[in-house]
Amino acid sequence: MSPTPNQIEVFDRDAPGSDATETATFALGCFWGPDAQFGALDGVVRTRVGYAGGTAVDPTYHDLGDHTEAFQVDYDPDVQSFGDLLDLVFRSHDPNQQTRKTQYQNIVFVATADQRGALTDYLESNGYTADGIATRIEQLSRFYPAEDYHQKYSLRNEQPLFRTFEQAGYDDEELRESPAAAKLNAYAAGHEIGDDHDLGTADNRTVHST
């Protein structure tokens, strides 16, 4: 069974607000996969995909310029630390290799001094240096959200789940920023989201794992 519109609305209403979360920005190839992967994590509240790392103004998918496909996660720092997220980032790609195509490069963006410090600590504790890896390390200047059809891509392609948001009256921006959508997008992509999420998915694995 799929969640009801009421379950989605209650989940979103009870989720931590932006004043209780921090935001991390990464690039790991095509942004659909990591958007779902990180959305499954406990403590990750919201996700979105977009473009970052370049100089072009107002990039689009078909006019990306020198930007890279990236994704953001809003996370509860009492549950997940920036270092925890970095651990998954570095387990999800080979930091000693980099694709030549700018659109799909691996990048760790840092937005604050605390994130910079956590990254330095992570690299040192794992035998890496910023200059000794192929992964790009960059200060985040701006993140441009991608087009609506890229947001929650797996969820949009799982009609029984997606239809519930339509029934609840969510518009595209509300879907992009919905905590329930972040979890159900992960679920639609085949990730486990835990049984503590009251979203009607317990004992109901009908979508195909990827």
Classify residue 12 as left (phi > 0), alpha (psi -120 to 50) or beta.
alpha
Tens digits of residue pLDDT in 154-181: 999 999 999 999 999 999 999 999 999 9
Tell which wins on pLDDT, 210 or 33. 33
Residue 148 confidence (pLDDT) above 80: yes
pLDDT score recorded for residue 18: 94
Question: What is the reported pLDDT for 200?
Answer: 77
Mean predicted lDDT score pLDDT of the chain: 94
* Whether residue 195 has pLDDT greater than 80: no
The region of weakest confidence among 74-78, 151-155, 190-194 is 190-194
pLDDT for position 207: 44
What pLDDT does 202 receive?
66
Confidence of residue 210 (pLDDT cuts 50, 70, 90): very low
Q: What percentage of the chain has pLDDT greater than the value 70?
A: 94
Q: Extract the tokens encoding 178.
A: 């919905």
The top-level CATH class assigned to 5-188 is alpha beta
Q: Which own/partner pairs from 111-117 qualify as long-range (CB within 8 Å, at least 24 positions apart)?
A: 111/23, 111/24, 111/25, 111/139, 111/140, 114/82, 115/24, 115/82
User: Residue 203: its pLDDT value, please?
Assistant: 53
Query: Whole-model pTM?
Result: 0.94
The yes-or-no answer on residue 136 being catalytic is: no
State the pairing for strand pair 44-52/106-110. unpaired
User: Catalytic residue among 10, 30, 111, 130, which?
Assistant: 30
16-56 pLDDT, tens per residue? 999 999 999 999 999 999 999 999 999 999 999 999 999 99
pLDDT of residue 204: 55
Whole-number pLDDT of residue 208: 40
Indicate the helix (H) or strand (E) that contains 145: strand 144-145
